[in-house]
A and B are shown apart, each in its own frame.
Chain A
Amino acid sequence: MKILVADDDPLSRRMLEKTLHKAGYEVVAVRDGSEAVEQLCKSDGPRLALLDWEMPKLDGPTVCQEVRKKKDQGYVYMILLTSKGLKTDIVTGLSSGADDYLTKPFDSEELKARLRTGHRILHLEGRLVEARENMRFKATHDALTSLFNRGVIIDLLGREVSRSRREKVPTAILLCDLDHFKRINDTYGHLVGDEVLQEAARRLVLSVRSYDYVGRYGGEEFLVILNNCPAATAPSRAEEIRTAIGGSPIETVSGALSVTLSIGLHQADNWGSRPFEELLHEVDSALYAAKAGGRNRVSLAKPEISSDQELVSRSTQS
């Protein structure tokens, strides 16, 4: 584990360096307070720090204050080193944001013991962050497919349409629906249906770029947002996504099942001032048109959709 040693006294710095190195730490040694703040505020900076009280530029308590103020992610456990022994000094040090203090000259066993306390605190913080992240994931993702849930994907759509309008970059919206999904559930049971949904979700994610969004919109419906996707290329991208599902059977406990996908596609280089809810309604109509047109196809949304605006994309299997 990385540890920062900040001390302008070369003797003290060297003693700490050697002691900590022997104890298995990766030591980052600096000579003044501003270097200490810089190191500790790096995203991959040390999470443990030993700070001398008296240092050039910034003293130890000020370093603690600065780090607490600037660093919002990843707690840093800071121990002040001091030859000051007065109660008022200790109170000042701890009030500045230090977690502990150690009196100079330090005893190596005491130092290691206090650092173990630091480890425990950091470990606990790690578990809390992990638990918070798990909760955040559960609140924003669909439990079965791990895709964004309906609320989040609709929110993302609103934001992306606004961004597209603001930055004048094109966006494509795809509303996708697995064909005859009810029949799969009725024939093979819901567990197989779940397997199909999970595999379809996996294929959808693999068929888009890392900065595109895929969410579960409803039972077997998925909403895909392709960022920075020009209107001219959107249909071919939609075709790729359709093929990603229908191109090969999905393996389930009941055997390989052929599943196809119908897609409503809305694409524009400029959305104008239209609300995203209206776009969503239109893409839904396009999906309906794809279903009505025989399924396993991509239909292009327009404010007034008609059959001659439909893209011919029916697969040979359908």
Chain B
Amino acid sequence: MNLSTSSILDIADLLTRVDDDHELLVELFFIFRSVFPAHLQSLADAINVGDVKEVQTESHTLKGMLLNLAAPRASAVASRLEEMGREKQLGGMKEALAAFQVEVELLLTQMEECVNGLRR
């Protein structure tokens, strides 16, 4: 996936998937914000200690959440991390994690803008 050309949050796709239910969309963003930090921390810890199995598990979970949120860029990086875990490829994991954190920060910002837009 080319990260520069794909959207951070495909809001049209997400709205289709939730049957245009704005209330549910806001609720999903809220759930993500509340559960995401713990998973990110577990992922970072696993990378630090070289626990490739845990890297695979956590990045798989995060990928699933991000796919549900129609966040293609962040989910693509999570998918890359999952593959690195599966392939036991420790080299480059920290860089991939850093890239993932950047993508998620961008996503959280877009989510907030989206929520504000829906409230207006």
Contact = CB atoms under 8 A, between A and B. Distances in A.
Contact of A22 (B19, B27, B64, B67): B19
A14 B19 CA distance: 14
Which of B17, B21, B57, B63: most chain A CB closer than 10 A?
B17
A233 B31 CA distance: 68
A108 B61 contact: no
Given A18-B21, A18-B24, A108-B19, 16 more contacts: A8-B61, A9-B61, A9-B68, A10-B31, A10-B35, A11-B28, A11-B32, A15-B28, A19-B19, A83-B63, A83-B67, A104-B64, A104-B68, A105-B68, A105-B70, A107-B17
26 contacts: A9-B61, A10-B35, A11-B28, A11-B31, A11-B32, A11-B65, A11-B68, A12-B64, A12-B65, A12-B68, A14-B28, A15-B18, A15-B24, A15-B28, A15-B68, A18-B21, A19-B19, A22-B19, A54-B57, A83-B60, A83-B63, A104-B67, A105-B17, A105-B67, A105-B68, A108-B17
Contacts of A108: 17, 19
A17 to B, nearest CB: 10
B69 interface: yes
Contacts of B65: 9, 11-12
A14 B30 CA distance: 12
Contacts, number: 51
A54 B64 CA distance: 10
Task: List 3 tightest A-B contacts by C-beta distance, closest first.
Answer: A105-B67, A105-B68, A11-B65
Interface string B8-38: 0000000001110100100110011001000
Nearest to A12: B68
A29 B63 CA distance: 21
Contact of B69 (A11, A106, A107): A11
B64 A18 contact: no
Interface in B35-68: 35, 57, 60-61, 63-65, 67-68
Interface residues of A, number: 17
Contacts of A10: 31, 35
Interface residues of B, number: 20
B45 to A, nearest CB: 18
B78 to A, nearest CB: 10
Interface in A98-139: 104-108
User: From DSSP, what is the main secondary structure of chain B's interface residues?
Assistant: helix
Contacts of B63: 83
A83 B18 contact: no
Nearest to A54: B60
Interface in B62-116: 63-65, 67-70
B8 to A, nearest CB: 16
B85 to A, nearest CB: 13
Interface in A1-16: 8-12, 14-15
Contacts of B70: 105
Which of A8, A15, A18: most chain B CB closer than 10 A?
A15
Contacts of B21: 18
A84 to B, nearest CB: 9
A10 B62 CA distance: 11
A12 B70 CA distance: 12
Which of B17, B19, B24, B68: most chain A CB closer than 10 A?
B68
A105 B68 CA distance: 5
Nearest to B56: A54
A225 B50 CA distance: 73
A83 to B, nearest CB: 6
Contacts of B69: 11
B102 to A, nearest CB: 21
A9 B17 contact: no
Interface in A198-236: none
A112 to B, nearest CB: 11
A54 B17 contact: no
